[in-house]
Amino acid sequence: MLSRRTLLKLVAAGAVPAFALCGCAHPQMIDLGSTESQVVEKLGKPDSITAMPDGTTRYTYSLQPEGQEVWWMFFDKNGRFVKREQALVEENFYRLIKPGKTTIADVYRLFGHCTKIFDFKLLNQSAYMYRFQDASRSDVVLWVQYGRDNVVTEWTISEDPRKNTRFPIY
């Protein structure tokens, strides 16, 4: 067991995430081979559980609203943890969010709870907002807009409004 002083040095050096100090679990701290029940015990109930075409099961863990990550945790047919993947990457948006076809329930299954939901009454639309860092490590957000029929109308990426000191929206 590391001493608190050693752990603080490692955190300061960036070798250990700061959340490790608070005793909080994080998807990156889960050992491959863990059982589904062990993962749920450490991380809590996932936002969604999805049976995948290849026979694996995907658990979705959103770290929103304060975090910038959504993690997919994959389990084999025996219920053993075999892979993790950061879900909030542009490739997934292009591949998985199809305006006119994807529902907001589909988006929730993919990415879990969002940072905030905005309601645009005059447009009869709403938008899910997910905070993340793009490939260049810039703070950005994914906006998934949907109509009253709960079908996605469009999605886009913009600067994170929390980082925009000129025009913060919340």
- At 149-158, the pLDDT tens digits run 999 999 999 9
Q: How far is CA 84 from CA 6, 136, 154, in A?
A: 28, 21, 27
Residues 6+ apart with CB under 8 A from 91: none
Domains of the chain in sequence order = 25-165 (3.30.1450.10)
Q: What is the pTM of this model?
A: 0.80
pLDDT of the chain along its 170 residues, tens only? 444 454 445 444 444 444 444 446 899 999 999 999 999 999 999 999 999 999 999 999 999 998 999 999 999 999 999 999 999 999 999 999 999 999 999 999 999 999 999 999 999 999 999 999 999 999 999 999 999 999 999 999 999 988 766 655 55
CB atoms within 10 A of CB 82: 14
